[in-house]
């Protein structure tokens, strides 16, 4: 049962990630009359949905009691300002990252973006080694080298890219590449920093996410 659930979760994650990238790319390149929506607006809506989902999960964990929910939020967030402030750094970085992803998808095709963005695995591994003192095996380092090689091949100029030159100029491709690379580094650092905070405290991941999203909403508005 656990094995089936694991593969089901993996399939749902792959579908969600792929559909998200294609939807974002389509929405950013759709040609229609009127101004295009602001990426900051999409980020704010996504963050609002996240905080609503986290609050519902905390509500469920508190046995569906509004009084217990209010007490938990008050005790864990308002009464612990220093613990809450720890999330200011990763929340700001995540906000920057989310906006950069829209910039990247506006200037890169979906396939190039998706493959290049996998460099966040490399940056996460490097930050894990430096910040959490994790040790990677030889096979893990070899996998990271293969990942870097694959991304380099994707960025290598080819004849097929000439067909896309009418839609994407060299300048816009450079902007998209820089945006996705910056997002990779910000994702790796913020993810490892958030993991470090979770390991140092006993607060639930849902409470930490509420704190994280609360800070993320302020610079996005």
Give the pLDDT score at 84: 82
CB 198 within 8 A of CB 205: yes
Cα 116 to Cα 65: distance, rounded to the nearest angstrom:
45
- Ordered per-residue pLDDT tens for the chain, 221 residues: 567 788 888 889 888 888 888 888 888 877 777 777 888 888 888 889 989 999 999 999 888 888 998 998 888 888 888 888 888 888 889 888 989 999 888 888 888 888 888 888 889 999 999 998 888 888 888 988 888 888 777 666 555 555 455 455 555 888 888 999 999 999 999 999 988 888 888 888 888 888 888 877 765 55
Residue 65 dihedral angles phi and psi, to the nearest 5°: -115, 120
What's the burial of 44, exposed, middle or buried (CB within 10 Å: 0-12/13-18/19+)? middle
Give the pLDDT score at 29: 78
What's the burial of 90, exposed, middle or buried (CB within 10 Å: 0-12/13-18/19+)? buried
């Amino acid at each position: 049962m656990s094995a089936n659930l694991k593969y089901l979760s993996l399939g749902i994650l792959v579908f969600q990630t792929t559909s998200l990238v294609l939807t974002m790319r389509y929405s950013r390149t759709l040609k229609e009359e009127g101004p295009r929506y602001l990426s900051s607006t999409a980020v704010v809506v996504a963050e609002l949905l996240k905080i609503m989902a986290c609050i519902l999960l905390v509500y469920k964990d508190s046995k569906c009691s509004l009084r217990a929910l209010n007490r938990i939020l008050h005790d864990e967030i308002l009464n612990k300002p220093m613990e809450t402030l720890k999330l200011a750094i990763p929340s700001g970085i995540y906000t920057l990252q989310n906006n950069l992803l829209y910039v990247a998808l506006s200037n890169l095709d979906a396939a190039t973006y998706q493959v290049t963005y996998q460099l966040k695995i490399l940056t996460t591994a490097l930050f894990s080694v430096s910040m959490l003192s994790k040790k990677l095996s030889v096979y893990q380092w070899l996998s990271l080298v293969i990942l870097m090689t694959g991304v380099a091949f994707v960025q290598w100029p080819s004849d097929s890219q000439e067909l896309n030159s009418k839609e994407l100029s060299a300048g816009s491709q450079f902007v998209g590449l820089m945006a996705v690379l910056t997002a990779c580094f910000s994702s790796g650092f913020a993810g490892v920093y958030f993991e470090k905070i979770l390991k140092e405290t006993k607060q639930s991941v849902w409470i930490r996410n509420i704190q994280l999203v609360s800070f993320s909403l302020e610079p996005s508005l």
